[in-house]
């Protein structure tokens, strides 16, 4: 009945007809189709939001310029950071219900991707749930630290000392506030202000852009431009071993692929 009604609706629309029906079931089916389209659109947009966050989190200047070790946990927490920035914007959206639903879908996309990464790297099924739980606790703890650091900055005329300390605790083995952590904190504050400036529909559809990672040089920008021409990317497994994945075909290999501009290291 449902498929038949959907087909009838589609045929009527294609013929340029307005669909009238006194049948209560058909009316309910039409409402379900509209609701399904809205949900489907939200899911697709939320995946675009997450993909946008993920691409920013994987940019090499974060690791090169901030002296961050390129390992699974730092990559994961950089994803957490950028999803958290979007979450802050969605939390003040005009349409509270739509923003809340989008937040949930973005986090669903985040954890679906995280679970796929864990599975791809060969973690046994028996350990999957415990590994996910560990990462959820780490992500939640990091988000709490980010909240605390940003609150202090907003209340103290942009003083980013506490935020720099929070970032140091999450990414830098608690080495304390130094030049790198301060630059990192300034980046986070700039990106928050930038994110708040976007119109809600731009954010909900994942069409926003990010600024440059901290201390990015022209040489690094050119390197990134060359890098983007090749679909192969490098990442670090939970065991610290590099692997390569193709963003167009989703192929994943342990040995570095041949070709120009394939990243040799992660």
Q: What is the CATH code for 229-266?
A: 2.20.70
H-type helices in the chain, by residue range?
Answer: 2-14, 24-57, 61-65, 72-90, 96-120, 125-155, 161-171, 179-197, 200-204, 218-228
> pLDDT band for position 19 (50/70/90)?
very low
Taking CA atoms, 40 is separated from 30, 53, 59, 86, in Å, by 15, 20, 29, 20
Name the more confident of 68 and 249.
68
Mean pLDDT of the residues in the chain: 83
> Across-strand partners of 14?
none
The predicted-structure confidence for 130-171, as pLDDT tens digits, reads as follows 999 999 999 999 999 999 999 999 999 999 999 999 999 999
pLDDT at 4 exceeding the cut of 70: no
Residue 28 has pLDDT above 70, yes or no: no
Per DSSP, the three-state class of 121 is coil
- Report pLDDT digits (tens) over 94-115: 999 999 999 999 999 999 999 9
Q: How confident is the model at residue 232 (pLDDT cuts 50, 70, 90)?
A: confident
Domain ranges of the chain: 27-217, 229-266
**How much is the pLDDT for 118?**
87
Place of tokens 């650091």: 149
Position 25 scores a pLDDT of: 56
Contact 145, 171 (CB under 8 A): no
């Amino acid at each position: 009945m449902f498929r038949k009604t959907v087909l009838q609706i589609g045929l009527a629309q294609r013929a340029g007809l307005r669909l009238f029906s006194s049948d209560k079931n058909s009316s309910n089916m039409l409402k379900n189709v509209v609701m399904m389209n809205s949900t489907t659109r939200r899911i697709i947009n939320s995946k675009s939001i997450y993909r946008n966050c993920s691409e920013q989190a994987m940019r090499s200047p974060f690791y090169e310029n901030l002296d961050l070790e390129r390992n699974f946990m730092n990559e994961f927490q950089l994803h957490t950071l950028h999803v958290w920035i979007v979450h802050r914007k969605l939390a003040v959206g005009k349409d509270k219900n739509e923003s809340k639903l989008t937040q949930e879908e973005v986090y669903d996309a985040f954890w679906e991707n995280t679970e796929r990464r864990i599975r791809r790297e060969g973690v046994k099924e028996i350990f999957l749930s415990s590994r996910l739980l560990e990462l959820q606790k780490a992500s939640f703890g990091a988000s709490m630290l980010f909240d605390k650091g940003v609150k202090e900055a907003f209340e103290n005329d942009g003083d980013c000392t506490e935020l720099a300390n929070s970032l140091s605790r999450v990414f830098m083995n608690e080495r304390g506030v130094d030049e790198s952590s301060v630059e990192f904190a300034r980046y986070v504050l700039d990106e928050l202000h930038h994110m708040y400036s976007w119109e809600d529909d731009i954010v909900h559809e994942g069409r926003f852009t990010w600024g440059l990672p901290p201390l990015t040089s022209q040489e690094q920008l050119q390197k990134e431009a060359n890098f983007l021409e090749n679909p192969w990317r490098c990442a670090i497994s939970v065991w610290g071993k590099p692997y390569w994945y193709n963003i167009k075909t989703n192929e994943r290999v342990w040995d570095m692929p041949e070709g120009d501009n394939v990243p040799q290291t992660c």
